[in-house]
Chains A and B, each alone.
Chain A
Amino acid sequence: MNLSGNSPTQKAIYWGSHYLMIAAFVVFALFPLYWLLKVSVTPNDILYTEGVRMWPSRTTWENYTFVLTQSNFPHYFMNSVIVAGTTAIVTTMVAAVTGYSFSRFAFRGKVIIVALMLITQMFPLVMLIAPIFKILAPLGLTDSLTGLIIVYTAFNVPFATFLMQSFFDGIPKDLEEAAMIDGNTRFQAFRRIILPLTLPGVAATLGFVFTAAWSELLFALMLVSSDAASTFPVGLLSFVSKFSVDFGQMMAAGVLALIPACAFFLLIQRYLVQGLTAGAVKG
């Protein structure tokens, strides 16, 4: 079927509306980010006085300077990097191994394990806060980054496993059999042949888990009480005082918090794009 029509005008209209729709979507998706940026560079004194404008009449870096030098923010930020980074790596490693075995082996109890993993995804997290707190407290894991990492890993492993499984499913079984006949044990075949081919999947999983852990607020708020172990989403709340919300500083912190996530995706995007297309079209 030729959707774009034949005459040049028809073609122009087709491609014009095509790009118009993409543009509309991009504007819609990115507008909040733009607003974040705009508020973060607006001086406090004109934030409320200028009304709604697309760009302030004056801009300033003072919100950023304050956040970086006067607040606890760099510390929260480091905590978040540690928590999200470790969670992403540990979860992906566990998910790679379990996803592989789900994809390749038939074993007793497989159905039960899959069902259990699905069930864990169905509970509203709020329900689980109290029991998890009860479990972690005697172990000394509340108010600690380790505790957060454990909880995040536990919550992300099921979905990450299914994600990895689908990537392994896309790789023909013949490949590791050929590798085994060529002189590998099964584990060596997995590590030397299958894993390199699953890099897009690994990158997608890393990215997914990293962002989930990076922006998680509920557990970070409930399990951690001290500043020392707070992550940045909790830190953001510190800009909300009893009497006012310091929007400029909050937004500046928000923009800064985007940087590692962006950097991370920049790092993995090469694999990610491959991965998404490879998953869409088999072969």
Chain B
Amino acid sequence: MASIEIANAVKSYGAVDVLHGIDLDIQDGEFIVLVGPSGCGKSTLLRMIAGLEDITSGDISIGGTIVNELQPKDRDIAMVFQSYALYPHMSVAENMSYALTLRKTAKEKITDAITNVADILGLSALLERRPKALSGGQRQRVAMGRAIVRKPQAFLFDEPLSNLDARLREQMRSEIRKLHRRLGATSVYVTHDQIEAMTMADRIVAMHDGIIQQVGTPIEIYDRPANIFVASFIGSPAMTFLEGTYEIAANGNAGVRIADGALIPVLPAQGATANQAVTLGARPEHIGIVGDDKGGIPARVDLIEPMGLSTLVHVSLAGNPVKIFTLDRPDFAADSIIHITFDMEKIHVFDTKTQLRLPPQSEPHTAKTA
């Protein structure tokens, strides 16, 4: 096991910069999830840690040693690929033992390790099969097994679950977490699925366009997103955004005035000035539906989406789509007018120009920003 330090790592392909100075310290034994939209450079960063991609500038260290010039084989890391990359001409057992064989590990030790790992992953009956005779989920397990058997310094995962169906993905998600708890190995896990990020990570690294937007625990990222990108990327159903201007009354109460003139009260925000262009961000569960005489803001119902446990109500507010999460079973007719309120303790104010979150004055300066 080892820590991984990435210091000002840059990657360019010719004139194109793909990663712009990445700084990231990964603790020994930590499970880090790199998340971001397609093309933001997650795989590139992971492959730089693995040694499959040259580092244009900056340093990457594993266990305190700078590995910039080391070949992948000398970095003592294991990687699980999205395509699984099993050796098609080898049996499951041979696939899993290949790395150990290359290291000239004693036969009995290899057999022990394989039996043990096959037990953990439920592969014992399949050891003699070739990969082509396995289902997708089984292949995925073999790929995991191949990584685990080696007991490497760190595990790297590049979207290992994205080829599985939803149910299997859910199951593997918790299995990988359990494995991590059991092995305690430093892990870097790439995904563009924010649910995987939320459920699996010790810390999430949210990336966009080759820049780290925010690093934090899942709850930090969810409750205190550093900017509009992170706020919109994390959370499903996604956060609603309303543009408006910041207003502050003589008594110190603050609010955001949106396009149709309605004023949505907010906590006074750090560094916000009167009439500043701001964007209000509200998660579906922080918007409520109130009786017509309770002072809510009128909105027009677009669509009701029952999801079993909960219901998602889509409304338009001053021309903006707004999603509302409720555990009730509302049955509003389409186009009817309902009244909604925002939970001022929970909603966010972002500077429209810089896209950064303006935290409430009551919040200590903790949220890390890029």
**Interface set of A (CB-CB < 8 Å, partner B):** 172, 174-175, 177-185, 193, 196-197
Sorted nearest first, the 3 A-B pairs with minimum C-beta distance are A174-B85, A183-B102, A182-B99
Report Cα–Cα, A172/B88, bound state, in Å: 11
Point out the residue from A172, A174, A175, A183 that lies within 8 Å of B73, measured CB to CB: A183
A172 and B89 form a contact (CB under 8 A): no
Report Cα–Cα, A178/B98, bound state, in Å: 10
Residue of A nearest to B77 (CB): A181
Point out the residue from B78, B89, B150 that lies within 8 Å of A197, measured CB to CB: B89
A184 and B81 form a contact (CB under 8 A): no
**Interface set of B (CB-CB < 8 Å, partner A):** 50-52, 71-73, 77-79, 81, 83, 85-89, 98-99, 102-103, 146, 150
Point out the residue from B81, B89, B102, B150 that lies within 8 Å of A196, measured CB to CB: B89
A178 and B81 form a contact (CB under 8 A): yes
Report Cα–Cα, A183/B103, bound state, in Å: 7
Contact flag A182-B73 (CB < 8 Å), given A197-B88, A197-B89: yes
Contact flag A181-B50 (CB < 8 Å), given A172-B83, A175-B85: yes
Interface centre among A172, A175, A178, A180 (most CB of B within 10 A): A178
B72 and A177 form a contact (CB under 8 A): yes
Residue of A nearest to B82 (CB): A174
- Find chain A residues with CB under 8 A from B51 CB: 180-181
* Extra pairs beyond A179-B87, A183-B99, A196-B89 (15, CB < 8 Å): A177-B52, A177-B85, A178-B87, A178-B146, A179-B98, A180-B71, A181-B50, A181-B51, A181-B72, A182-B150, A183-B102, A183-B103, A185-B73, A193-B87, A197-B88
SS class, residues of chain B in contact with chain A: loop
Q: Give 19 A-B contacts (CB < 8 Å), ordered by A residue.
A: A174-B81, A174-B85, A175-B85, A175-B87, A177-B72, A177-B79, A177-B85, A178-B81, A178-B85, A179-B98, A180-B71, A180-B73, A181-B51, A181-B52, A183-B73, A183-B102, A184-B73, A185-B73, A193-B87
Report Cα–Cα, A161/B106, bound state, in Å: 40
- Find chain B residues with CB under 8 A from A175 CB: 85, 87
B89 and A174 form a contact (CB under 8 A): no
Residue of A nearest to B53 (CB): A177
Residue of B nearest to A106 (CB): B13
Report Cα–Cα, A183/B73, bound state, in Å: 4
B88 and A178 form a contact (CB under 8 A): no
- Find chain B residues with CB under 8 A from A197 CB: 88-89
Report the minimal beta-carbon distance from A275 to chain B, rounded to whole angstroms.
Answer: 14
- Find chain A residues with CB under 8 A from B79 CB: 177-178, 181
Report Cα–Cα, A87/B326, bound state, in Å: 76
Residue of B nearest to A172 (CB): B83
B73 and A181 form a contact (CB under 8 A): yes
Report Cα–Cα, A191/B142, bound state, in Å: 23
Residue of B nearest to A283 (CB): B132
A182 and B89 form a contact (CB under 8 A): no
- Find chain B residues with CB under 8 A from A177 CB: 50, 52, 72, 79, 81, 85
- Find chain B residues with CB under 8 A from A193 CB: 87
B85 and A172 form a contact (CB under 8 A): yes
Residue of A nearest to B47 (CB): A177
